[in-house]
Amino acid sequence: MNSLSFNERMSGWVSFDEPSYNQAMVAGRRRGTTCTQQLTIEIDDVDRFIADSSHLGRAKGFVWCDELGGELRAERGWFNLFVVAGASSHRRMLYRLFLRDGDGRALTLSGFKDVEHGPNLDGWGDTSRLLVRILSGHHEDEPEGDEATVATGILHIGKLGFARMLASMRGTAGPRGIGSVAEFDRYFVSQLVELFGHR
């Protein structure tokens, strides 16, 4: 199998009072309520990952938030790349991590990047901005309403962080490893070209 892994670090601000993503980011920045997500994404078989419409990979690592007790290690996590969300011109990158806070309480980080062909046509902004909710309990599916929401916010990856992510890509040892990285890169770029190619 042609496996692949890479590291991704995203940081931003969250609020425990604001349900709106943008308002939560503003409130969190004002109060200095930071949140960082440090993950390793693992894909066992790049061919199968691309062929499967869920484009599913494992996510390992941790979330750091002082207000929740510091480092929250992911007990389980997964990542979906460019999942069609309604219209074919609308894709999402999905993140879900099962965590525990400093007191051992179960939490879920549910995040998504909205990548959409629209009037703003901001491919970089769409792929570098992660909208997150931290939920009480472990939820495989998104709960309705805001009752389970503990915190809301937006995390970002900068251009230097994106370069580091690309540099961290590792495939299976040998020529197949180089091929798996190239194959993943081709798929990633092809999706962006499909959505934003005329720009």
Give the HSE-up count for residue 83: Cα atoms under 13 Å, Cβ half-sphere: 14
Residues of the chain with pLDDT > 70, as a percent, come to 89
pLDDT of 74 higher than 60: yes
At residue 11, the pLDDT reads 98
pLDDT of 193 higher than 90: no
- Tokens of residue 128, six digits: 């570098």
Answer for the pair 150, 127: CB distance below 8 angstroms, yes or no: no
Whole-prediction pTM value? 0.89
At residue 176, the pLDDT reads 53
Going by pLDDT thresholds of 50, 70 and 90, the confidence category of residue 172 is confident
Q: Rounded to whole angstroms, what are the CA distances from 122 to 76, 118, 163, 197?
A: 31, 8, 19, 12
Q: Which residues does 104 contact at the CB level (< 8 Å), separation at least 6? A: none
* Largest CA-CA distance found in the chain, in angstroms, rounded: 51
**Position of tokens 């970089």?**
124
Answer for the pair 69, 102: CB distance below 8 angstroms, yes or no: yes
At residue 120, the pLDDT reads 55
Which residues is 170 bridged to in the sheet?
5
196 or 12: which leads in pLDDT = 12
Answer for the pair 161, 38: CB distance below 8 angstroms, yes or no: no
CA 172 to chain centroid, in Å, comes to: 23
- 72 sits in the region (left: phi over 0; alpha: psi -120 to 50; else beta) called beta
At position 111, the amino acid (one-letter code) is: G
**Dist. CA 111–CA 109, nearest whole Å:** 6
Query: Within 10 A of 172 (CB to CB), how many other CB atoms are there?
Result: 18
Mean pLDDT of the chain: 89
**Tens digit of each residue's pLDDT (9 = 90 or more) over 83-109:** 988 766 788 999 999 999 888 999 999
pLDDT of 128 higher than 70: yes
Answer for the pair 73, 50: CB distance below 8 angstroms, yes or no: no
